[in-house]
A and B are shown apart, each in its own frame.
Chain A
Amino acid sequence: MTDHNPIQDLWQSQPQENFCMSTDEIRKRASKLHATISARNTREYIVGSALVVFFAAFALIAKSDLGRLALLLSAGGVAVSMWQLHRLARAAAGDEIYLVTQWSEFYRTQLARQRDALRRVWIWYLGPLVPGMVLFWIASGLKDINAGNTVQGLAVTMVGLLITFGVFLAVGSANRKAADRLQAEIALIDRLIAEK
């Protein structure tokens, strides 16, 4: 037994708030939770689908084959990202079962899932968008080059690619740092489980 501490009395004698949930309210709340998650996922799918339609529609009216390909690849990239988001959301929904496990297992599972998502951001989020973005800037530059403005065309392509990759690298780096912080927490939990 732990020794009794007066602060424990202070803690345990806190005034209680008036709180009561009937089992009907519990059921409503349980289904509302699912409805909220579904609504949030639906909103994300609608925004993603709108982007796919947007890129695909512009692909139809694009003047060059390269521009069309860039837009189609962008549409595909968004679709792949959406699918990956859907997979991650489904994996997160599975965490519910862990609520009854020991705190360390529950918390570690959550952190590991978040860490893996952050570490793989190039695969599931940034990577699928790269081909479309690269082709988009090449097509933009080629338009000027074909019109006889070679320097301007090269500048557009180079600057566009630099900015795009700069933003992507910054996003990737921020995610990697966040993943490292989560890994440090996971390592702490592992130590707490194994400590003698």
Chain B
Amino acid sequence: MSNNIMSRDQDDWYIRIAEQWGAAMQRIARSCEADPDRRRDVLQEMHVAVWKSHPLFDGRCSERTWIYRIASNVAANHVNRERRRNTPLVSLDRAGDMASNDQFQIAERDIALQKLFTIIDRLDNPDRSVITLYLEGLDAATISDVTGMSPGAVATRISRIKTLLAHHFKEVQHD
């Protein structure tokens, strides 16, 4: 009986969370996998992890932090699994050199998004995690809480991310 109640609580909680944070989970899944079928697998993995996490959620952090932690960890896990097949990953310090033949002159939305994915795809796991959370609109303190990186490390990375984005997306910045 109590198991049923717990299970119903878990289901209700998950349904609410999926409705509220489903879009964010989709974006994070997209940041780590370009192939639609495999991305769907990653997304399903995130949803399963969120559902399973319900008994562990004790409210010591916000639901937002909790969900972003799970989504970031599933994404990192996926990148870690797949990286043997990927091209070498680079840190933000070297990311400015990427796509040097293409200065991203085209401002169309989907092309700009593709370029953004290309940049994210080449980043190593720590930087990928920070840039994704930054793009999600999380502040430095929350990114620090999600990732466990020190506030100083997050601030440094956000600063580099802004420089990197400014370098690659001049025309979008000026819109």
- Listed in ascending order, the chain A residues whose CB lies under 8 Å from chain B are 1-8, 10-12, 14, 16-17, 19-21, 23, 26, 29-30, 33, 96-107, 110-111, 185, 188-189, 191-196
A99 touches B74 (CB 8 A): yes
Chain A residues with CB under 8 Å of B135's CB are 7-8, 11-12
- Listed in ascending order, the chain B residues whose CB lies under 8 Å from chain A are 11, 14-15, 18, 22-23, 26-27, 30, 36, 40, 43-45, 47-49, 51-53, 56-57, 66, 69-70, 72-74, 76-77, 80, 109, 112-113, 116, 124-126, 129, 134-140, 145-150, 152-153, 156, 158, 162, 165, 169, 172-173, 175
A99 touches B150 (CB 8 A): no
A194 touches B150 (CB 8 A): yes
Known: A19-B22, A100-B56. A26 touches B136 (CB 8 A): no
A5 touches B165 (CB 8 A): yes
Known: A2-B140, A14-B113, A193-B150. A21 touches B47 (CB 8 A): yes
**Bound CA span A97–B26, Å:** 22
Chain B residues with CB under 8 Å of A194's CB are 150
Chain A interface SS verdict (over half)? helix
Chain A residues with CB under 8 Å of B156's CB are 195
Question: What's the nearest-Cβ distance from chain A to residue B3, in Å?
Answer: 13
Known: A14-B27, A16-B26. A7 touches B116 (CB 8 A): yes
A193 touches B148 (CB 8 A): yes
Choose one: A107, A188, A192; the contact of B80 (CB below 8 Å): A107
A19 touches B150 (CB 8 A): no
* Chain A minimum-CB-distance residue to B174: A6
Known: A10-B109, A14-B113, A195-B149. A100 touches B53 (CB 8 A): yes
**Bound CA span A97–B126, Å:** 20
A103 touches B76 (CB 8 A): yes
**Bound CA span A99–B149, Å:** 16
Chain A residues with CB under 8 Å of B27's CB are 11-12, 14
Extra 4 A-B pairs, beta carbons < 8 Å, given A10-B112, A102-B148, A192-B150: A19-B22, A103-B146, A106-B77, A111-B80
Question: What's the nearest-Cβ distance from chain B to residue A21, in Å?
Answer: 5
**Bound CA span A5–B135, Å:** 8
A99 touches B53 (CB 8 A): yes
A192 touches B52 (CB 8 A): no
The 8 closest A-B pairs by CB, nearest first: A102-B148, A104-B148, A195-B153, A11-B135, A103-B147, A23-B11, A192-B149, A192-B153
